[in-house]
Chain A
Amino acid sequence: MKNQNSSEEKRPAIGRGLSVFKRINVWLFKSSSRITEAGERKHAELIARLTLFFSILILTGLIVSASRSDSNVAATLTLAALSVASLSGYGISRTHRYQVSGIIIAGIWIVATITYAYSGWTTNGPLFALVLLLPFGFILGTAMLSTKSLAVIVIIGLTSVFILPIFYPEIGRPIFTSAGTLSCMGGLALIAQRHRDVVERERLRELTKKNVDLQTLQASLELANQRLHKDETFLKAIINNIPFDLWVCDANGRYFIQNAISLNLAGDLTGKTVDELDFAPPEQLLEYKAKHQRVLSGETIREEIQEMLKGEERSLLSIQTPVRDGDDLLGFVGMQIDLTDIRRAEKSLKESEALYQSLVEVMPMSVCRKDLDGRFTFVNKRFCEGFNLPEAEILGKTDFDLHPGELAEKYQKDDLLVITSGQTIEIMEEHQPIDGKRIHVQVFKSPIFDAHGQVSGIQVVFWDTSERVLAEEKRNKLVDELEAKNEELERFTYTVSHDLKSPLITIGGFLGYLEENAKKGDTEKVKEDIQRINNAASKMQRLLDELLELSRIGRLMNPPEEVPFDEIVREALEHVEGQLSEGKIEVQVGSDLPAVYGDHIRLVEVVQNLVDNSIKFMGNQPHPIIRIGARKQDGKYVFFVKDNGIGIEPQYHDKIFELFDKLDPNSKGTGIGLALVKRIVNIHEGEIWVESQGIGTGATFNFTLPRKPNTDELEASNDG
């Protein structure tokens, strides 16, 4: 009951007019709680109305019978009501079984009514039918009604059959009949109700089943919902955590999703269109708008842009692309990925590449790197040019592939030094590609360290210093020459001042004596004095002439020419022919004399002076011989003038070439001859030296002279 009450409360929609019957129903059939659907309700109302209708009908029959004491009218009315009730029982039954039973019962009642009416309402036919049917109603009632309903029916039936006729015997038969009928009718109503219960139970079963299905559905929906919720949270988190500016607009261009970065950069734009924005300058917003329109027309925009973000110019990869569901454009998603750091890194990479380019490729130096096995791992352009090989043909090779063996060995040794010491070394060395020109280079060799601080290779930087080396050599030579010249000049000045002054002193001194002797009248002495003065004057004259001659050498030179040496010898001998024949001196000239290159006239002077010198110091040699020739020494020709005269002691070998130096003060000449010879030879970049074992051994004057430049080189390389 409690459940029914609560159910009742839940369904106040049932009409108030029905409440009495409903309560009867409830009380009788405990079924109102199941009257849930509108159809069921109508059904229930119909039953209730029919019950009322028949109850009134029967009651009216009873009242009419009682007032007129005519049981026939009441019986007839009751029979008619019962027929209709049976038919309506058929009408409201849904199950085939009850419909059949309803028709049978109705049929019986109709037959009974007709039979009763035909008999003139006097026979006991209907009673007979009722007695027959009463058990049938009981059977049905027992089978399908609740015990409470059954009890009511039984009490009503028994009361009308047994108790009422006692008090009202005159109307016993119709009343008896009516009460029995009423019991049957109740049974029929109950049948209908019972039938309805069954239907409801079935419906309930169906509903319960549906309910369970619904609950299952609900549970799975809830689960799906939870999952959806979870997915949504996750999706939101993803969008929010995307590490670049991201937003989504709907098909109207209205912002509706922004991630955290977008919010931070542009503020909350949700619900706005580009026309309502104000976070950027108007011209930029116009640009935005144009792009939005393009994207909304289905285009995907992908471009790199420069934009000021929070006061800093940034490089952004901007992508805006439509979002579609099938053919429907839902909106578009936009994103801006900040590439500034990448672009900066690229820029600094480019800069460092440019730096590398300018350092390694532009500088006029060859650069290479080698691994620990001496194989080239890197070479710059200039290095390749030096070998006239492409980079690919150099990488992987070693010095032994590129240089003559002895140089490669040297390089290898130096590399090893750098690798073992870990120190940078600076070297001046020679460099030569195989079949290439040998040059002088300055080299820096440094170790290359790997990440662990271990030497992993070697870096070599070198550049051509040939010109510098040559220039240095030239300079050194010039300095030497200059120093020699200075020294010579100093000696010259000294000599000149001394030797030119000497005759002056003589002249001055003897002029004094001349004066005194003249006073004294000592004519002998006067003569002697004058003689001395004369001699001194002519000596001075000679000295000055020779000095002039000496100074001309070097200043007044004839252009160099190639002259056969024997021609020079012949010309020189012609000049001293007289002296030679006078001293009965034999001259032997060697054969196969080479040609020399220089000032023809001066070279004749050299030979002439040397022969002259030999003649002067022949001493009392009984078989004076002078040999003139040339010999090969160290790939060069050495010319010589050799005599068998008095010879020169070793300590004087240098002194004899000095200006005005004479070993023998009594010898003829001023002592300029050998100085002159030395000067001419030196100017021709030759050397002169004397060989002699000392007094009585004779002397050999050796000298070198240049050959014509080209032939010189050829000759030297052939000899070498």
Chain B
Amino acid sequence: MTGEPVVALLVEDNDDHAELVMRQMADHRIANKVVRLADGQEALDYLFRKGIFEDSEVSPRPHVIFLDLRLPKVDGLDVLKVLKDSDEVRDIPVVVLTTSEGERDVTKAYLNHANSYVVKPVDYHKFRDLMDNLGFYWMSWNTTIKK
């Protein structure tokens, strides 16, 4: 809100789901910029600025991370664990956004310090409302550490 672009990071391997989320975000003008990454390894590279994401211009710090759990290469829960173990990025809120309602996943996510756990609804209207509320809450209402 200070002119700095509000970046949301979306880690999602399913292109269709990524498309759905990003369209909603665009519709609700939630973020200035949504960065979508397709697997866990990419997400870690981005956040720790490795490989192609070395330049901080390319990889600005996200305001919030929307993280799917089932990801190729590095699983979402493993990504979460690494993030929350790191002094560098631990402060960034992580919202687990997944299809899984499995109790084990919920537990593991929270035990790994996920900030929120949200299950993707099948119903389009619910999905739209969810993304609206989610975006508004995490992007507008929620205050994060200023850097």
- Which residues of A come within 8 Å of B, CB atoms? 490, 493-495, 497-499, 501-502, 504-513, 515, 532, 535-536, 652, 655, 661-665
How many angstroms between the C-alpha atoms of A98 and B34 in the bound complex?
194
**Those of B1-38 within 8 Å (CB) of chain A:** 13-14, 16-17, 19-20, 23, 38
How many angstroms between the C-alpha atoms of A612 and B128 in the bound complex?
41
Please name the residue on chain A nearest to B123 by beta carbon: A508
Query: Taking chain B's interface residues, is the majority helix, strand, or loop, or is none over half, making it mixed?
Result: loop
Contact B72 A498 (CB under 8 A): no
Q: A502-B17, A505-B99 are in contact. Are A652 and B120 (CB under 8 A)?
A: no
Q: How far is the CB of A337 from chain B (nearest CB, A)?
A: 89
Contact A505 B38 (CB under 8 A): no
Q: Mark B122-143, 1 if CB is under 8 A from A, else 0.
A: 1111011000000000000000
**Those of B92-109 within 8 Å (CB) of chain A:** 98-102, 104-105
Assess whether B73 is interfacial by the CB under 8 Å rule: yes
Give the number of A-B contacts (CB < 8 Å).
75
Question: Which B residues touch A502, using CB under 8 A?
Answer: 14, 17, 99
How many angstroms between the C-alpha atoms of A662 and B70 in the bound complex?
11
How many angstroms between the C-alpha atoms of A502 and B128 in the bound complex?
16
Question: Which B residues touch A652, using CB under 8 A?
Answer: 73
Q: How far is the CB of B64 from chain A (nearest CB, A)?
A: 20
Contact B16 A506 (CB under 8 A): yes
Contact B99 A506 (CB under 8 A): no
What are 18 A-B contacts with C-beta separation under 8 Å? Answer: A494-B100, A494-B104, A497-B99, A504-B122, A505-B122, A506-B20, A508-B121, A508-B122, A508-B124, A510-B16, A512-B128, A513-B124, A515-B124, A532-B16, A535-B16, A663-B73, A665-B13, A665-B38
| Residue in A493, A510, A665 whose Cβ sees the most chain B Cβ within 10 Å | A665
Question: Which B residues touch A655, using CB under 8 A?
Answer: 73
How many angstroms between the C-alpha atoms of A513 and B24 in the bound complex?
10
Contact A512 B99 (CB under 8 A): no
| Given pairs A505-B20, A536-B16, A665-B39, 16 additional interface contacts (CB within 8 A) | A495-B70, A497-B100, A498-B70, A501-B120, A502-B14, A502-B99, A504-B122, A505-B122, A506-B14, A508-B123, A508-B127, A511-B124, A512-B125, A655-B73, A662-B72, A663-B73
* Number of chain B residues whose Cβ lies closer than 8 Å to a Cβ of chain A: 28
Question: Which B residues touch A504, using CB under 8 A?
Answer: 122
Contact of B72 among A490, A512, A661 (CB under 8 A): A661
| Residue in A497, A498, A504 whose Cβ sees the most chain B Cβ within 10 Å | A498
- Which residues of B come within 8 Å of A, CB atoms? 13-14, 16-17, 19-20, 23, 38-39, 69-70, 72-73, 98-102, 104-105, 120-125, 127-128
Complex A-B, nearest 10 residue pairs according to Cβ-Cβ distance, in ascending order: A512-B124, A506-B16, A509-B20, A508-B122, A501-B99, A498-B100, A665-B13, A504-B122, A505-B120, A498-B99
Contact A498 B16 (CB under 8 A): no
How many angstroms between the C-alpha atoms of A664 and B70 in the bound complex?
13
Question: Which B residues touch A663, using CB under 8 A?
Answer: 72-73
Q: How far is the CB of B68 from chain A (nearest CB, A)?
A: 9
Question: Which B residues touch A661, using CB under 8 A?
Answer: 72
Question: Which A residues touch B124, using CB under 8 A?
Answer: 508-509, 511-513, 515
Q: How far is the CB of A213 from chain B (nearest CB, A)?
A: 137
Question: Which B residues touch A495, using CB under 8 A?
Answer: 70
Please name the residue on chain A nearest to B23 by beta carbon: A513
Q: How far is the CB of A410 from chain B (nearest CB, A)?
A: 48
Contact B101 A497 (CB under 8 A): yes
Contact A509 B127 (CB under 8 A): yes
Please name the residue on chain A nearest to B126 by beta carbon: A508
Contact A494 B17 (CB under 8 A): no
Question: Which B residues touch A498, using CB under 8 A?
Answer: 69-70, 98-100, 102
| Residue in B13, B70, B72, B128 whose Cβ sees the most chain A Cβ within 10 Å | B72
How many angstroms between the C-alpha atoms of A498 and B105 in the bound complex?
11
Please name the residue on chain A nearest to B20 by beta carbon: A509
Question: Which B residues touch A509, using CB under 8 A?
Answer: 16-17, 20, 124, 127
Question: Which A residues touch B13, using CB under 8 A?
Answer: 665
Q: How far is the CB of B67 from chain A (nearest CB, A)?
A: 14
Question: Which B residues touch A515, using CB under 8 A?
Answer: 124
Contact of B105 among A494, A506, A535 (CB under 8 A): A494
Contact of A497 among B19, B102, B127 (CB under 8 A): B102
Question: Which A residues touch B69, using CB under 8 A?
Answer: 498
Contact A510 B122 (CB under 8 A): no
Please name the residue on chain A nearest to B105 by beta carbon: A494
Contact A665 B72 (CB under 8 A): yes
How many angstroms between the C-alpha atoms of A493 and B38 in the bound complex?
23
How many angstroms between the C-alpha atoms of A506 and B104 in the bound complex?
24
How many angstroms between the C-alpha atoms of A506 and B20 in the bound complex?
8
Contact A664 B72 (CB under 8 A): yes
How many angstroms between the C-alpha atoms of A498 and B72 in the bound complex?
13
Please name the residue on chain A nearest to B24 by beta carbon: A509
Question: Which A residues touch B23, using CB under 8 A?
Answer: 513
Question: Which B residues touch A506, using CB under 8 A?
Answer: 14, 16-17, 20
Please name the residue on chain B nearest to A509 by beta carbon: B20
Question: Which A residues touch B99, using CB under 8 A?
Answer: 497-498, 501-502, 505
How many angstroms between the C-alpha atoms of A173 and B39 in the bound complex?
210
Question: Which A residues touch B38, using CB under 8 A?
Answer: 665
Please name the residue on chain B nearest to A490 by beta carbon: B104
Question: Which A residues touch B122, using CB under 8 A?
Answer: 501, 504-505, 507-508
Please name the residue on chain A nearest to B122 by beta carbon: A508
Question: Which A residues touch B123, using CB under 8 A?
Answer: 508
| Residue in A505, A535, A652 whose Cβ sees the most chain B Cβ within 10 Å | A505
How many angstroms between the C-alpha atoms of A504 and B124 in the bound complex?
11
Question: Which A residues touch B128, using CB under 8 A?
Answer: 512
